[in-house]
Amino acid sequence: MPSERLQKILARAGLGSRRTCEEFIIAGRVTVNNQVAVLGQKADPAIDTIKIDGRPVEPAEALTYIAVYKPRSVISSLKGEGSLITVRDLVDVAGRLYPVGRLDVDSEGLILLTNDGELANRLTHPKYGHEKEYRVLVARWPDEEQLDAWRRGVVLEDSYRTQPAEVRVDSTFGKGAWLRVVLKEGRKRQIREMGQQTGLPVVKIIRVRIGTLQLGGLKPREWRHITPEEVTALKGEKAPQPATSSKGQRGKAGGRQKKSGEARRPRGGIGKGRRR
C-alpha cells in the first residue's frame, strides 16, 4: 500500500472523522515509528508502526453504516450526561461507531452511525455543503416576512448570520404550523434560535434527511443498516437505479443479523423490536 496522510489512515481505522484525527496529530498524540507525528505527514500502515496515546492503531475494521431514529432525551454524542442514554446505546452492534449529524437533546430524527471517517468528514465539513432536512413545528402561523427572514439568513445572538435556508409551510397544527426546512450548515441549536429571533417559537424538530439518506419509515429508537446503494449515493458516486421491488424484510432486535434496510429496535431494556 502506498503512503498516505496520517489523518486518512486514522479515520479509516475508525478513530473519528478526518478533522478529529487531524486534532489528534496536532495535539502530539500520534507517533510513527516512535516519533511524534506532524500534520501533513504520510505513512504506510503496512510497514510503519502507528500509535495514538502509545497504543497501536488497529487495522481498519469492516465499514459499517447504520441509520438511527434518535428520540428526544437521548444524547447524540458517545458520552451520556447523568441518567441520559446515548444514541450509541440504541444500537446493539459491536465495534467503534461514531455519530454523524448531531442533534440536540430536545430534537429527534435521523442520525448516521459509522466507522467510515472519510464519509463522516464529507457529511460534516462545511465545504461540501450537504443538505440536512427537518420538519419543524412552530407555535405560531408564520407570515411571509418571517419565512423570508429564514430564507435570507437570520442574525443570531452571537452576531453570526445563518446561510440562506429553504423553508416552506407543510401544514397547519392548531395555532401553529409544520415547516419543511433545509439547511446546508448545522450550528448548535440553530433552528431554535432562528425561530426565537423571528418570533416563531420552535416546539418540535425532526430531522428527516442527511444528504441523500432519508429517515424513511424508522420510528423513534429504531435503527437499520443502510443499503449499499444508499452508501454509494452518500459518497457522491453515481447511484444505481432503484429496483422495481424494494420491500425489505422486517425483524425483531435480538435475533439473527439483519440485512441492509431492515429496521431494528435496541436491546437491554430500552425496548423490544416489533414488526411494522
CATH code of 69's domain: 3.30.70.580
Residues 50 and 90 placed together within one structural domain of the fold: no
User: Would residue 112 count as lying in a domain?
Assistant: yes
Instruction: Please report, for residues 21, 24, 41, 71, the alpha-carbon distance to residue 11 in angstroms, rounded to integers and kept in the order given.
Output: 6, 11, 14, 28
273: in domain: no
CA dihedral 180, 67, 19, 51 (to 10 degrees): 170
Task: Bin 147: left if φ > 0, else alpha if -120 < ψ < 50, else beta.
Answer: alpha
Q: Crossing angle for the helix pair 18-26 and 117-124, nearest 10 degrees?
A: 100
**Confidence grade of residue 58 (pLDDT, cut at 50, 70, 90):** confident
Cell of 13: 481505522
pLDDT band, residue 140 (cuts 50/70/90)? very high
Q: Which of 110-119, 127-136, 219-228, 266-275 has the lowest mean pLDDT?
A: 266-275
pLDDT in tens, 189-210: 999 999 999 999 999 999 999 9
Determine the Cα–Cα distance for residues 91 and 87; give it in Å rounded to an integer.
Answer: 7
Tell me, yes or no, whether 219 and 121 share the same domain.
Answer: yes
Instruction: List all residues 6 or more positions away from 32 whose beta carbon is below 8 Å from its beta carbon.
Output: 6, 41, 43, 48, 49, 50
Is the pTM here over 0.75, yes or no?
no
- Which of the given ranges, 16-25, 214-223, 238-247, has the highest pLDDT on average? 214-223
Among the listed ranges 8-17, 226-235, 259-268, which one has the minimum average pLDDT value? 259-268
Domains identified in the chain, total number: 3
pLDDT at 263 over 80: no
The whole domain housing 12 covers: 4-56
Active site residue 116: no
Of 241 and 185, the one with more pLDDT: 185
Helix (H) or strand (E) holding 182: strand 176-183
30 lies in some domain: yes
pLDDT (0 to 100) of residue 248 = 33
With cut-offs at 50, 70 and 90, classify the pLDDT of residue 102.
confident
Residue 89 and residue 218 in one domain: yes
pLDDT at 187 over 70: yes
Q: Work out the average pLDDT over 152-174.
A: 95
pLDDT given for residue 202 in this prediction: 97
Catalytic residue among 44, 48, 104, 143: 104
Query: Is the residue at 147 inside a domain?
Result: yes
Quick one: which of 222, 179, 213, 199 has its CA closest to 100? Answer: 213
Q: How far is CA 74 from CA 68, 94, 122, 215, 220, in A?
A: 12, 20, 25, 17, 10
Residue 78 pLDDT > 90: no
Same domain, 182 and 51: no
Return the SS3 of 13: coil
Which residue type is seen at 123? L
